[in-house]
């Protein structure tokens, strides 16, 4: 009855970081004895070479799915990937059991070595390749989306994402070299004079070592521009060495094909098999997935509407972060005060979480097809409902609830509660400023211009201003947490609060300037052109409700900072309006 023990709707969670990727050492393979060309041996040779394509692309896809987990886990606190269910349905679920039919038909072909079994196997192989390519396309789309979020979340998350891209790219390159070195180290026996290709095999082995070295270097975080530059240099050198090894791979494969001339399997001729080997090595690198607007690419009206939906979503994430701070504050007092009734607040908080989940579903569907009238209606309704849920949370008289609870505490506990309330308020303001900056940073990809690398200086100036405020707010928050609970701390925290709230006003004023800059990107006749500005105007309107601070100068006590009569006022309306501010 008092709100204790209420079961809140469970929010999705980002995956934990997977185990760090590894690249095991490669063992030197001695030169095998030659196997004379014959129909049977050439069938085996063709199958071994062809099989590398399936092994390579499936491994490559598996590495991409691990990369996605790692990217999602590294974005930062408060991030929830909106397309999580779509990702599972499009990639993770289909990936499981992907190879079963292929493996069964391969075993049947190896048992019979006849044209019929071979035909079934190679047909399935082509179909498997098509399925894997579809899954890779879907995975690439999700990687780009998560990189988009990383770029908006913080400079650190953007930096970490690029490091992870290069790290997993080196792992993928190393595993392809391992696969081809191991396969060709055995299959070279089908060539005339296997020892003639020792240098080519050595070039593959050496390239693997260079890639492994670059991979190891990439496992460390980038702590300086110098280290970043060295990492790029190592990756570039390793890629060049791998390119040279590819020439050796092609020479060995062609030698096997030449040796089997006259024994070409009807099921899979060697001209096609040579292409299979090339496909096993030549896959797109991961760094190419960094989202960008290509030279001359127009940002469309559809892009405008999709961005508006993302702005609503990132604001909703910010609201959840702030609401959680409020909820934690309420529950911490509930543990201290007997009979503390916070049912109304807990119910409103629970409803907010439910509305967030419903909003996410509607937003994802709408962004996939913004021209669909039904999806637009569902999205607009979901926005309305989550706004109403936010207003309900405001109407739970949060301030009165907290005041009532604190009034029953003894003087020491009351003083501690004041300090805690002020710290929570600073945390809320810091969170708000951070999310406004993320809101603005969502535009960055669209503003990266053509090949000359030019930037929109108006936008960059606004972002520099916002980032500076984020840095100062974060430092203020850390400083407030480290202050000793001593005489005078209340006045210090009040001053910090006033400063950070003034900063918040400046942040929203800066964000409001974005609209004119962003509009230059889009066609003049954009439908619902005011959508982005509306989000910002809603945020500014809510700012006005925060003009009253926790304490007015007349409320500051002369000496007794523990007295409720001295003007103790918990964050209350300030917290809630701050939450609404970043949501709307």
Rg of the chain taking only CA atoms, in angstroms = 30
Residues of the chain with pLDDT under 70: 1-6, 295-296, 394-395, 397-399, 448-454, 485-487, 519-530, 532-584
Interatomic CA distance for residues 5 and 92, integer angstroms: 35
Distances in Å between the Cα of 7 and the Cα atoms of 3, 10, 122, 354, 401 are: 10, 9, 54, 12, 20
Q: In angstroms, how far is CA 19 from the centroid of its own chain? A: 17
pLDDT the model gives residue 417: 83
Q: What angle do CA 37, 40, 46 make, to 5 degrees?
A: 80
Give Cα 505 to chain centroid, integer Å.
Answer: 29
Specify the pLDDT at position 4. Answer: 59
pLDDT of residue 513: 76
DSSP code per residue over 200-257: HHHHHHHHHHHHHHHHHHHTS---SHHHHHHHHHHHHHHHHHHHHHHHHHHHHHHHHH
Helices then strands, counting H and E runs in the chain, come out as 20, 0
CA angle 554, 557, 558 (to 5 degrees): 110
| First and final C-alpha spacing in the chain | 31
* 437 φ/ψ angles, rounded to the nearest 5 degrees: -65, -40
Which sign does the torsion angle of CA 302, 304, 305, 310 carry?
positive
So what's the pLDDT on residue 71? 96
What is the pLDDT at residue 573? 33
Question: How high is the pLDDT of residue 325?
Answer: 85
In angstroms, the CA 145 to CA 290 distance is: 9
pLDDT at 5: 59
The predicted structure's pLDDT at residue 379 = 95
Give the per-residue pLDDT at 181.
98
Q: For 513, which DSSP code?
A: T
φ, ψ (nearest 5 deg) of residue 4:
-75, 145
Rounded to an integer, what is the distance from CA 192 to the centroid of its chain?
Answer: 50
Residue 452, pLDDT score = 62
What is the pTM (predicted TM-score) of this model? Answer: 0.87
DSSP string, 518-572: HHTTS-TT-TTTTHHHHHHHHHHHHHHTT-S-SS-GGGS-SS-TT-GGGT---SH
Do the beta carbons of residue 370 and residue 305 sit within 8 Å?
Answer: yes
| Structure-block tokens of residue 147 | 């990189």
CA atoms within 13 A on the CB side of 344: 13
């Amino acid at each position: 009855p008092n709100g204790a023990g209420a079961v809140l709707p469970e929010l999705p969670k980002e995956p934990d970081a997977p185990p760090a990727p590894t690249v095991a050492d490669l063992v030197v393979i001695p030169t095998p004895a030659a196997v004379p060309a014959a129909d049977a041996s050439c069938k085996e040779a063709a199958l071994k070479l062809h099989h590398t394509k399936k092994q390579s692309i499936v491994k490559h896809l598996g590495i991409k799915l691990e990369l996605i987990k790692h990217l999602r886990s590294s974005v930062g606190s408060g991030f929830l990937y909106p397309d999580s269910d779509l990702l599972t349905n499009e990639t993770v679920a289909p990936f499981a059991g992907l190879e079963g039919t292929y493996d069964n038909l391969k075993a049947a072909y190896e048992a019979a070595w006849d044209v019929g079994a071979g035909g079934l196997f190679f047909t399935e192989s082509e179909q498997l390749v098509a399925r894997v390519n579809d899954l890779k396309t879907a995975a690439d789309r999700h990687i780009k989306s998560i990189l988009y979020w990383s770029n908006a979340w913080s400079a650190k998350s953007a930096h970490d994402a690029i490091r992870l891209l290069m790290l997993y790219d080196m792992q993928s390159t190393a595993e392809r070299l391992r696969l081809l070195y191991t396969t060709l180290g055995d299959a070279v026996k089908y060539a005339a004079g296997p020892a003639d290709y020792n240098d080519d095999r050595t070039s593959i082995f050496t390239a693997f070592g260079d890639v492994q070295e670059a991979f190891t270097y990439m496992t460390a975080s980038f702590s300086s521009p110098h280290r970043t530059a060295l990492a790029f240099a190592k990756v570039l050198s390793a890629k060049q060495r791998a390119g040279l090894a590819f020439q050796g791979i092609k020479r060995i494969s062609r030698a096997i094909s030449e040796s089997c001339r006259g024994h070409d399997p009807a099921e899979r001729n060697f001209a096609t098999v040579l292409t299979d080997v090339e496909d096993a090595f030549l896959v797109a690198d991961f760094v190419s997935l960094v989202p960008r607007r290509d030279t001359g690419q127009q940002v469309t009206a559809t892009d405008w509407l999709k961005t508006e939906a993302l702005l609503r979503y990132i604001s909703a994430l910010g609201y959840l972060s702030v609401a959680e701070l409020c909820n934690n504050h309420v529950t911490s007092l509930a543990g201290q005060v007997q009979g503390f009734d916070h049912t109304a607040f807990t119910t409103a908080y629970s409803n907010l979480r439910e509305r967030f989940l419903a909003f996410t579903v509607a937003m994802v569907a709408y962004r996939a097809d913004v021209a669909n009238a039904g999806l637009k209606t569902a999205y607009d309704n979901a926005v309305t409902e989550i706004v109403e849920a936010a207003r309900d949370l405001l109407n739970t008289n949060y301030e009165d609830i907290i005041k009532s609870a604190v009034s029953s505490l003894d003087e020491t506990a009351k003083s501690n509660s004041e300090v805690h309330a002020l710290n929570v308020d600073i945390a809320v303001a810091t969170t708000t400023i951070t999310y406004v900056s993320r809101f603005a940073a969502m535009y960055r990809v669209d503003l990266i211009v053509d090949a000359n690398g030019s930037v929109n200086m108006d936008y960059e100036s606004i972002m520099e201003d916002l980032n500076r405020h984020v840095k100062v707010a974060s430092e203020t928050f850390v400083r407030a947490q480290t202050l000793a609970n001593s005489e005078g701390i209340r006045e210090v925290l009040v001053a910090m609060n006033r400063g950070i709230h003034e900063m918040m006003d400046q942040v929203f004023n800066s964000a409001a300037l974005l609209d004119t800059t962003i509009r230059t990107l889009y066609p003049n006749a954009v439908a619902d052109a005011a959508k982005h500005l509306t989000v910002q105007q809603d945020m500014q309107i809510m700012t006005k409700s925060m003009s009253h601070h926790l304490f007015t100068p007349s409320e500051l006590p002369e000496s007794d900072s523990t007295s409720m009569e001295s003007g103790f006022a918990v964050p209350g309306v300030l917290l809630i309006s701050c939450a609404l501010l970043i949501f709307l």
